[in-house]
Structure 1
């Protein structure tokens, strides 16, 4: 049963990663078919993260009360509806609505998994959670060259209509195939409402949250849209863009898988800072159009942003772990919305050099504010 719980929740997160990443390959088609400019494209794509972020805090309460077996499949059905709306859209508002519904629906894919794993795998939680993210991130691989080829075969609309069917099937499998807790383990009661005020008053946690905004936000804004759009702007064709995104997403899968191992041995804070600096180097290489070097570098080290969630668990007492990690995840996903949209506005007015340079400056500011945490002797 435990293996089935891991497999099915990982499958749900795989779909979430695919959907968040798909627009990077489809950017050119969406722009041409519906007449979207860079700002509209960035805003529409970022709605996944805005809607995703908007439900994070109530999601935590729902997961505590009803459990991931109910909440995760229920929200996946919303994502399926969003995929249908997106695939049938003939206008920008309808397209945006579909994207927002997909974001709401996928909001429980990661946090629902982590809630379940905290009960099913309490002694190996960090290892299993890292494995979940690494395997789930292969959804980004599917949203690279394979998606480009599939889009050529059946069109981008057909991809989203087929995806809706797959999401419904996975929702059904989770509902029928998992339990909230292992046999004999009671469902824990949620804590009181004062915990949110306590985590918001934790200055160290807020430093981590701001780093998540800058680091996770930049990593995902690039992977799920602007890395592809930038490559198209340099004149590359769809399959070549897909290959570059495969390097980005492939690097991310490896980064997710090894980040926990390195944090366990070198310390979470030290590994986070080193990875963020190397991600910044990748941004510089991208500005110099060295994409074959920049994209795998940004993918691999950008994936280490997941350690902000690990560190959130280290900075709050056990009864606040859910709210602490949800808060940091809110900043990371909210940052992706802001940065994905912001890059679109910047590209449309001042170009890619200014947009990518702004991401670099924000990340360096977050690292400067994060410095006091380097003295903590914590592990992932």
Structure 2
């Protein structure tokens, strides 16, 4: 009883001291709830796009910029948040950040102009920028390294559940209240989860942390595992985030001509597939490791499938549009594996900054993808219903496919080049 109350006061504990049930209830669930809200708020605009466009008379380019401001705020916050996580720990950092997110979400509920909504969306993104990093930092502290792929898969699944909640459940909510009340409720949820983390989460013992300078970031960026992982997975990850959070829904509406209810159902299936995909990625990665197959090879196979799905969209395979929309999110979950690969390769004092470096690149890229996709669509003229032609979406997806091919080719070339060398070494 005394030990439990000490945990509630945030007393320091040594990793391994807490039971598995305590880690689940005091570490995983509180931080997973934060990641859940982060993904819900990141993707909710995909369903609310018609309401938001009507509320502020937004163009596709403005809608893309408004939604992607979340990613830009994420990118800006990565360096200070990563430093704070390494120095002060995830418990205190998440409490403060989620309160900021609550304020931004509440401000978004009251926004009436593009400028007001853009500023509020930016604050929202700043406040939620540390949710996944804090969860990874906490889980990496309290979970053994051999279990990290599966547990981080569960974390990503929690995010998938948040994204799924931004579809049919949100549509159901809108039958009883408008979108502004939805954001009021989400603001209260952010504040509640922040308080839950502050009250429940244990504080790990302090570890030696390097003083910040550019050389610390350089140590992360030049790490061979980081560079190989980013070279293969980074661009697909930015595309997964940037497209599934907004443009998949618009593609189904404008090209597939699916009614709103069908779009909400397909988005729900796609986001629910993220849960299955994330758990499967963790299990497959551990299974492959036991057979001598490294995680980066698993990632390469998954990304090849992810690109194949996008090629199907570019080719305009209309009978399979519903299946392609679900497969995009199901297969795209493979991109989350890069966090596990990098976390396993870095020393504990650098795990926060390693996640920071990844997120800085990922969310900057996601901002560019989400905003740039709208700019490409704007090169075409909409019809009387303000729908853009299939050719516009095919062109935008085609650009994304071309951006991913060099990373796959580079990885294949490096592995093919290394294979003869390993064969020669094994002969001696």
So what's the TM-score if we normalise by structure 1? 0.92
Does the 8 Å contact 1:247/1:299 carry over to 2? Answer: no
Match of residue 373 from structure 2: 343
Distance across 2 between alignment mates of 1:309 and 1:187: 22
Pairwise mapping of residues 148-187 of structure 1 onto structure 2 (< 5 A)? 148-181=171-204, 186-187=205-206
**Number of residues paired by the alignment?**
373
Query: Is 1:310 aligned with 2:340?
Result: yes
Structure 1 range deviating more: 218-227 or 147-156 = 147-156
Residue 176 of structure 2 aligns to a residue in which SS? helix
Shift of the alpha carbon at 1:136? 2.8
CA RMSD of aligned residues (A): 2.0
TM-aligned CA distance change 1:316 to 1:63, over 3 Å = closer
Structure 1's consecutive aligned runs of 4 or more residues displaced over 4 angstroms after TM superposition are: 314-319, 372-377
Distance across 2 between alignment mates of 1:352 and 1:58: 37
Query: Is 1:188 aligned with 2:207?
Result: yes
So what's the TM-score if we normalise by structure 2? 0.82
Match of residue 18 from structure 1: 40
Q: Which of these residues, 37, 44, 47, is aligned with residue 66 of structure 2?
A: 44
Does the 8 Å contact 1:44/1:95 carry over to 2? Answer: yes
Shift of the alpha carbon at 1:175? 0.7
> C-alpha offsets along residues 208-241 of structure 1, whole Å, 9 cap, x if unaligned?
2244431111111121100111112133222111
Structure 1 range deviating more: 70-79 or 324-333 = 324-333
Shift of the alpha carbon at 1:362? 0.8
Match of residue 232 from structure 1: 253
Structure 1 range deviating more: 18-27 or 210-219 = 210-219
Query: Is 1:199 aligned with 2:220?
Result: yes
Which structure: larger Rg? 2
Does the 8 Å contact 1:212/1:328 carry over to 2? Answer: no
Does the 8 Å contact 2:149/2:283 carry over to 1? Answer: no
Shift of the alpha carbon at 1:122? 3.1
Shift of the alpha carbon at 1:319? 4.5
Structure 1 range deviating more: 263-272 or 166-175 = 263-272
Distance across 2 between alignment mates of 1:274 and 1:189: 37
Residue 203 of structure 2 aligns to a residue in which SS? coil
Does the 8 Å contact 1:212/1:332 carry over to 2? Answer: no
Match of residue 242 from structure 1: 264
Residue 206 of structure 2 aligns to a residue in which SS? coil
Structure 1 unaligned segments of length 5 or more: list them.
Answer: none
Does the 8 Å contact 1:269/1:374 carry over to 2? Answer: no
Distance across 2 between alignment mates of 1:188 and 1:318: 8
Match of residue 309 from structure 2: 282
Structure 2 unaligned segments of length 5 or more: list them.
Answer: 1-21, 381-391, 420-428
Distance across 2 between alignment mates of 1:215 and 1:317: 26
